[in-house]
Amino acid sequence: MAHTSFWEGKRILVTGGTGTFGRAFIKRLISISEIERIVVFSRDEFKQNEMRHEIKDPRVDYFIGDVRDLARLERAFNGIDIVVHAAALKQVPALEYNPLEAVKTNIIGTQNVIDAALGRDVGNVILISSDKAVYPVNLYGATKLTAERLVIASNAYRGKKGKTKFSVVRYGNVIGSRGSFVELIEKQKPSGIITITHEHMTRFWIHIDDVTKIVTDILKCMEGGELFIPKMKSLKVVDVVEMLAPKCQVEIIGIRPGEKLHEMLVTEHEVERTKDAGDFYVVLPEFRSWKTKDIFAKNKSFPKGVQYVSNDALFLVPGTKAKSIFKL
């Protein structure tokens, strides 16, 4: 019997498909010839129109819709095998001022994705999360933490005959994403002054190409209930400025409300359940009321006594090696 590719005949939908991750992920998907259909689901008609002109692949369809609208999601999920849920409100100050909007999109919207996926018997569902979900200090992080818990717990509702599997991918700063620190540097360069909030601040960094590759790899191995975390390196923000704007002066403006000095990707509570899976770590579910294969149980455990935090010497890269992370 001939071997069938995982992607053979697959129909994939991406919520937030016109965002930084969505656009890059869809470009990766169209390079996989076996995929039958790709659906871009987002509420931004202008960005969808831009994508239509940029991406000519006939397998790509566009749905205007909001994850707050369950009926629209149910319609869009008809015949879909895989859902990658990347739609979210992310701007910290804006969400602090408009908290209920964050709840409606990031929490209720995620629950709508779950309900629609279960109702349409979608195969795999992955939530795109953030390091802000770890010990959150702002509303955005709190909504992403809640979304993570909703997604993982939803494995219990697929029933004996249901096939839907839910997992989460959590990572740090994406190099070149919209509204990112890198974008801020480019905007401030002409002034000759780059503002940073603290001279000792550190952040995890990952290139968008690495994110999209890892997500495609995870889709092929997930069993449901796992929290996947790419292996990432961190840099001091001052080293990022030195690399990208070496002729500019640095001005310290102080840590903003809702901002951390350092970021963490795995909590102390999660470390005991964290396994090494090569390019990424896997946090196994703490509460499991569903039957599934535990394919990562025998993998090497996360190093004892180590915290996956951005200022830990194990992950912090000297400024002299920053270009290797940014692929410059």
Which DSSP symbol is given to 317? P
Contact at 8 Å (CB) between 234 and 202? yes
3-class secondary structure, 196: strand
> Which of these, 180, 175, 151, 135, lies nearest to 67 by C-alpha position?
151
Residues 326 and 115: their CA atoms lie apart, in Å, by 38
Residue 137 tokens read as 């200090």
Residues 122 and 162: their CA atoms lie apart, in Å, by 9
Catalytically annotated residue among 10, 27, 47, 132? 132
**Any catalytic annotation for residue 132?**
yes
Contact at 8 Å (CB) between 178 and 192? no
Helices and strands, number each (H, E), in the chain: 12, 14
Residues 39 and 37: their CA atoms lie apart, in Å, by 7
Q: Are strands 11-15 and 165-171 parallel, antiparallel or unpaired?
A: unpaired
Residues 147 and 181: their CA atoms lie apart, in Å, by 25
Residues 274 and 266: their CA atoms lie apart, in Å, by 8
Contact at 8 Å (CB) between 102 and 143? yes
Which DSSP symbol is given to 8? T
Which DSSP symbol is given to 192? T
Residue with tokens 């993570």: 148
Which residues form the catalytic set?
132
